Structure 1
C-alpha cells in the first residue's frame, strides 16, 4: 500500500435557490427553496500516479465495501480499443491505494466499461464488455466473495449476445421490490438506442425492454446511450441519458421499469459524454457531469449538482475540477452514495483516475 499525496481537506458551502415556478408554492416547496446544502470534502486523491502496465486509463467505476474502503476499477492499456486493454482494480480508503492489478482479461481483445456492484450479502459483482468494436461487444461477469481479493472465472452474462446486455456503464439500481435494473444501450452502425435490462433473481437471468421511443428530429445524429437511474417512489423509475442533442435526455417509468415514456430533453447541458446520478432519497439526487453543450463538446470541466425536486431544478452546483486547456479531460464519472457521503471517480486526462469523497449535510 502507498499513500497518495494528492489530498485536500476543505469545507464547501453550497447554497442555491430553486427556480420559481409559475404555480403557487406549497409549504414543502417553500421549505425546499430555503434549503442550504453543505458538502464537506473529506478526501481527494489519484488512485495511481502511473503504471507500466497501461499508458491510458478510462471509464472508472467505484463501489463501497461498507467499511470505509472502496474498490475502483477501470479499463487500461496502450489506448482505447487496443487489444492489450484489460480491466484493472485498486482498493483503498480515499488516500491510500493498493497497486493496480489486472482482474479481467478473457482474451486478446479490447475490454471496456467495468461496472462494480456490491449485493445485499456483500458479494462484489463486476460487469464489463469485451470486443474489438462497440457494435458487437459482449457483456461478461465475475464475482468476488472476499472484497475484491480473488475473483471467479468470468462468464458471459447472456451467452451468445452481441451488442451488450446488463449495465452498459453506470451502476445497477436495486428497486424497492428487489429487482435489479441495469441501465443499458446499444451503438450499432453509429445509431444509438437505450433500454433497461431487468433481473428478478439477482443477476442470474435478464429480461430487456424494447428500445426507448426517441424522436430523431429532437435528438439528431447518434442518439442516446449510457443511462443512469433512480427510483423516487416505489415503481416510479427515472433515467437521465447521454445524448447527441447538446442536452441531457430523460425518460420515466411508472410501472417498475417495464414501460417508458418517450425520451425528452432536460435543460441540463451535455457534451455527448458520460454522466452518473446518485439517489439521495425520495426526490433528492446528485449528478456528476460535464456542464458543456454541443455534440462532442469539450470535457475540460466536471461539475457536481444536487436536485431536491426529482431533477426539475439543480440549485446546488460545485465545480469539481476544470482547466482552460480545451484538450484537458475530466470525464466518465462514477458516483455513489455511501452513508452520508458522496463518493466519486472520473477519468483524469486519460492518464489517471481521480477519486473524491464529500460529506452531505442539510438535506431535509
Structure 2
C-alpha cells in the first residue's frame, strides 16, 4: 500500500470544531500531533490538544494549553535537535492581536513546562515565531521560523510575511524585514503563513499562502536575513494554509489545496512535488477530493474563519516519513487525519489517490 490514511481523532464529543494540526516524528518512533479545538474557531473555549502515536496507534487526546478566557490558535511542534521538543501557539481574541506562547518538553511530549511568552512586550505584538508551519534548523546551527502578521481591517488589513531567527536555542529572536511584494500589482491583503526549506547553506526558500490566487515564492541568500520579492507561481492557492518539506534527495513536497479562488473551497487536498527548488511542480497524490455542495462556506473574520467544515480538508503539515512523507490535516473540522505516502507514490507521474 503506497498511501494510507487513519484518524488521529474524529467526532470527539468534547469539542465542536478542530483545526490547524502540526506533526512531529520522534527519534524513538513515536509521533506527536497537536491542534486547536473548541466550540468554534476563535471562541474563548478553544484550547491546544495533543495526541501520541505509538506502535499501538493513536492514544487519547489530552489538553496541553488552556489559558482561561483566551482563544488558542495554530500550534507548531519543533524538535530542537538537543533532546527537547517545543510547542508554539498563538493566543488572542483577534488575529491582529495575537501573542505567541511556547511550551517545552524534555521527555518527548509526555510532560510540558508552563507557557512562556516567546517575545514579550511591544515587539511581540501580532505574533512572533512560527505562525503555522514548522521552523527549520539551518546548516549554521540557527533556527529560522516562518512568521507573518495580519493588520486590522480598520488600519488597512495588510498582510506581511517575515522570518524570525534564533541563534541561542530560542531564548531570543531576531525579526527579518517583511518579504517584499509588488503591492501596486498585487491583489488583496498580501501573503502569510510561509513554509521554509534550506537548499544549500544559507540558501533558504519560502512558499506562501496568498490573496492573489497563486502560491508565491521568495528566496533568501543570507540565511533568512533578507528576502527577494515574492512572486506568484503557477500553483493555485485558495488563500488557505499550505506546508512544504525538502527531502534528502533535494525534492520538495508541497501539501496544498489547488484551488485558484480567494477564500475558495478547501478541497481537494493534494501533494505536489518539485525537482526544481520549488519553482516548477507536478501533482503526485490526491489525499482528499470531495465535491463542495455548499458554496461560499468559508467566511473570513478577524476573530476566526466562519465555516461548518463541510468538504473542508485543509491546513496540512508535512514531514519526512520512512521512504516518503507523513501529513496531518483538518478533516471537515470534525477530525484530524494522518496520512503516510510512500516514495513510490511521490514518484508517479499520474496522481494516486488515498486509500479510504
Q: 2:5 — aligned with what?
A: 44
Deviations 1:111-144 (A, max 9, x none): 0000001121221100000000000110000111
Q: 1:64 — aligned with what?
A: 25
Are 1:360 and 2:343 counterparts? yes
Are 1:85 and 2:52 counterparts? no
Pairwise CA distance, 1:294: 1.3
Q: 1:174 — aligned with what?
A: 137
Q: Equivalent of 1:141, from 79, 102, 120?
A: 102
Deviations 1:241-280 (A, max 9, x none): 0000000011101111111111111110000000000111
CA RMSD of aligned residues (A): 1.5
Q: TM-score, normalised by structure 2?
A: 0.88
Q: Equivalent of 2:287, from 320, 325, 330?
A: 320
Q: 1:329 — aligned with what?
A: 312
- The separation in 1 between residues aligned to 2:181 and 2:282, in whole angstroms, is 28
Secondary structure in structure 2 of the residue aligned to 1:116: strand
Pairwise CA distance, 1:220: 1.2
Q: 2:175 — aligned with what?
A: 208
Secondary structure in structure 1 of the residue aligned to 2:10: coil
Pairwise CA distance, 1:300: 1.8
Pairwise CA distance, 1:198: 0.4
- The separation in 1 between residues aligned to 2:333 and 2:74, in whole angstroms, is 14
Secondary structure in structure 2 of the residue aligned to 1:343: strand
Give unpaired runs (5+ residues) of structure 2.
294-309, 348-356
Pairwise CA distance, 1:91: 0.4
Which structure is larger by alpha-carbon Rg, 1 or 2?
1
Secondary structure in structure 1 of the residue aligned to 2:195: strand
Are 1:351 and 2:334 counterparts? yes
Q: 2:226 — aligned with what?
A: 259
Q: 2:270 — aligned with what?
A: 303
Secondary structure in structure 2 of the residue aligned to 1:47: strand
Q: 1:193 — aligned with what?
A: 160
Q: 2:256 — aligned with what?
A: 289
Is this contact kept in 2: 1:44–1:94, CA < 8 A? Answer: no
Give unpaired runs (5+ residues) of structure 1.
1-9, 11-39
- The separation in 1 between residues aligned to 2:233 and 2:185, in whole angstroms, is 12
Is this contact kept in 2: 1:106–1:154, CA < 8 A? Answer: no
- The separation in 2 between residues aligned to 1:338 and 1:356, in whole angstroms, is 10
Q: TM-score, normalised by structure 1?
A: 0.86
Pairwise CA distance, 1:94: 8.0
Pairwise CA distance, 1:186: 0.2
- The separation in 2 between residues aligned to 1:172 and 1:141, in whole angstroms, is 13
- The separation in 2 between residues aligned to 1:285 and 1:114, in whole angstroms, is 23
Q: 2:324 — aligned with what?
A: 341
Deviations 1:181-201 (A, max 9, x none): 000000012211010000011
Alignment of structure 1 residues 73-152 onto 2, 5 Å: 73-93=34-54, 96-152=57-113
- The separation in 2 between residues aligned to 1:107 and 1:202, in whole angstroms, is 29
Q: Which moved more, 1:157-166 or 1:317-326?
A: 317-326
- The separation in 2 between residues aligned to 1:94 and 1:308, in whole angstroms, is 33
Secondary structure in structure 1 of the residue aligned to 2:342: strand
Q: Which moved more, 1:48-57 or 1:202-211?
A: 48-57
Is this contact kept in 1: 2:270–2:283, CA < 8 A? Answer: no
Pairwise CA distance, 1:52: 2.6
- The separation in 2 between residues aligned to 1:158 and 1:107, in whole angstroms, is 21
- The separation in 2 between residues aligned to 1:56 and 1:315, in whole angstroms, is 32
Secondary structure in structure 1 of the residue aligned to 2:96: helix
